[in-house]
């Protein structure tokens, strides 16, 4: 699959630390601020970027990400603009993997073939599409893999031993372990439970396992990073952006700077969680 993704995880394994995977909503609060946030992420220590594709009805997300999507849509964000954002970013950074994350309908309406061709051209390394479980692989997963774009699947606490092989079958890039049943932005569960869940998944796959849902602080990142190959932070970043906005919902001087500060802190967390070099 895409060289950027594999190289990034191989380098981090050699370095002996987990990846910091950062999510933000493309176009929140506006295109110009959002591209600045994207560019700031790797500089602040993010290893992988998840670029959110706004959708009007994000059924698996909590209020924070739903509001971020609404802000982006209100500011005129579209799937075409989200792809453009990746393209703009690639002009200055050709090493940081970008994963597009969102829901299927905007992609379906854009046209799967057209979307995949443009995503590849824009330098996209992977896709996370929340409402496409393995049962729906013919829709987007198989065509994406055929074009060389990773399809990253979510595994959850409800994904039992019987189901895990099916979930992992067409997964590539990394596995995203959702650490709880629930929506994005909920509280972080007990890290020791996460460790055993990561072990359970690793028994079935050689892919890196990144863990998300509930990670808010450097300490969380350190604790999760002890067992996982990567720590995903989303809602905390989105909340940081929301809290920096003016009363009218516009970006302020603190919008990009606040994200930088938060991500630098999270990056120190993953760097403190020194996990033994890759198995």
Partner 1 sequence: MNQSPNLNSYREGPDEDGRFGIFGGRFVAETLMPLILELQAEWDKAKTDPAFQAELKDLGAHYIGRPSPLYYAERLTQHLGGAKIYFKREELNHTGSHKINNCIGQILLAKRMGKTRIIAETGAGQHGVASATVAARFGFPCVVYMGATDVERQAPNVFRMKLLGAEVKPVTAGSGTLKDAMNEALRDWVTNVDDTYYLIGTAAGPHPYPELVRDFQSVIGTEAREQLLAAEGRLPDMVIAAVGGGSNAIGIFHPFLDDKSVRIVGVEAGGKGLDGDLHCASLTAGSPGVLHGNRTYLLQDADGQIKEGHSISAGLDYPGIGPEHAWLHQIGRAEYVPIMDDEALEAFQLLTRLEGIIPALEPSHAIAEVIKRAPKMGKDQIILMNLSGRGDKDIFTVGKILGMEL
Q: Please, what is the minimum distance in Å from the beta carbon of residue 273 to partner 1?
A: 26
Q: Please, what is the minimum distance in Å from the beta carbon of residue 132 to partner 1?
A: 7
Instruction: Give the integer Cα–Cα distance in Å for 71 and 33.
Output: 12
Closest CA to 41 of 235, 267, 214: 267
Q: Which of 50, 125, 137, 229 is catalytic?
A: 50
Q: Write out the H or E segment, with its range, that includes residue 152.
A: none
Q: Write out the H or E segment, with its range, that includes residue 33.
A: helix 31-44
154 lies in the site for partner 1, by CB under 8 A = yes
Choice between 107 and 270, CB closer to partner 1: 107
| Near partner 1 by CB under 8 A: residue from 10, 14, 32, 59 | 59
190 lies in the site for partner 1, by CB under 8 A = no
66 lies in the site for partner 1, by CB under 8 A = yes
Residue 161 appears among annotated catalytic residues: no
- Are 82 and 100 in contact by the 8 Å Cβ rule? The answer is yes
- Other CB atoms within a 10 A radius of the CB of residue 238 amount to 27
Q: Please, what is the minimum distance in Å from the beta carbon of residue 179 to partner 1?
A: 11
How far is the CA of 141 from the CAs of 111, 127, 148, 159, 211, in angstroms? 14, 9, 11, 19, 21
Residue 61 appears among annotated catalytic residues: yes
Q: Please, what is the minimum distance in Å from the beta carbon of residue 186 to partner 1?
A: 7
Choice between 1 and 73, CB closer to partner 1: 73
SS3 content of the chain, % helix, strand, coil (to 5): 50, 15, 40
Restricting to residues 157-186, name those near partner 1 by CB under 8 A: 157-160, 163, 167, 178, 181-183, 186
- Other CB atoms within a 10 A radius of the CB of residue 241 amount to 25
Closest CA to 101 of 48, 158, 166, 145: 48
| Near partner 1 by CB under 8 A: residue from 107, 198, 256, 267 | 107
Produce one character per residue of 127-138: b if its CB has 16 or more CB atoms within 10 Å, e if not: bbbbebeeeebe
200 lies in the site for partner 1, by CB under 8 A = no
Q: Which of 28, 30, 47, 61 is catalytic?
A: 61
- Are 243 and 23 in contact by the 8 Å Cβ rule? The answer is no
78 lies in the site for partner 1, by CB under 8 A = yes
Q: Please, what is the minimum distance in Å from the beta carbon of residue 11 to partner 1?
A: 29
52 lies in the site for partner 1, by CB under 8 A = no
Q: Which residues are catalytic?
A: 50, 61
Give the footprint of partner 1 on this chain (CB under 8 A).
54-60, 62-63, 66, 70, 73, 78-80, 103-110, 130-136, 153-160, 163, 167, 178, 181-183, 186
């Amino acid at each position: 699959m895409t060289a950027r993704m594999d190289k990034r995880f191989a380098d981090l394994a050699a370095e002996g630390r987990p990846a910091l995977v950062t999510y933000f909503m493309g176009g929140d609060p506006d295109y110009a601020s959002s591209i600045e946030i994207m560019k700031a992420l790797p500089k602040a220590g993010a290893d992988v970027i998840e670029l959110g594709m706004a959708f009007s009805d994000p059924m698996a997300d909590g209020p924070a990400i739903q509001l971020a999507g609404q802000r982006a849509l209100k500011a005129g964000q579209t799937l075409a603009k989200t792809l453009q954002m990746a393209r703009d970013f690639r002009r200055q950074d050709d090493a940081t993997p970008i994963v597009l994350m969102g829901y299927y309908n905007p992609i379906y309406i854009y046209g799967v073939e057209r979307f995949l061709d443009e995503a590849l051209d824009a330098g996209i390394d992977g896709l996370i599409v929340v409402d496409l479980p393995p049962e729906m692989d013919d829709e987007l997963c198989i065509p994406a893999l055929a074009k060389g774009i990773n399809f990253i699947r979510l595994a959850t606490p409800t994904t039992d031993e019987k189901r895990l092989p099916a979930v992992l079958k067409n997964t590539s890039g990394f596995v995203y372990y959702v650490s709880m049943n629930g929506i994005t932005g909920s509280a972080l569960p007990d890290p020791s439970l996460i460790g055993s869940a990561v072990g359970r998944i690793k028994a079935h796959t050689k892919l890196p396992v990144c863990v998300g849902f509930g990670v808010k602080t450097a300490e969380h990142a350190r604790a999760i990073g002890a067992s996982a190959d990567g720590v995903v932070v989303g809602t905390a970043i989105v909340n940081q952006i929301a809290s920096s906005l003016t009363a009218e919902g516009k970006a302020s001087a603190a919008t990009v700077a606040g994200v930088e500060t938060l991500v630098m802190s999270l990056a120190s967390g993953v760097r403190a969680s020194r996990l033994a070099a890759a198995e």
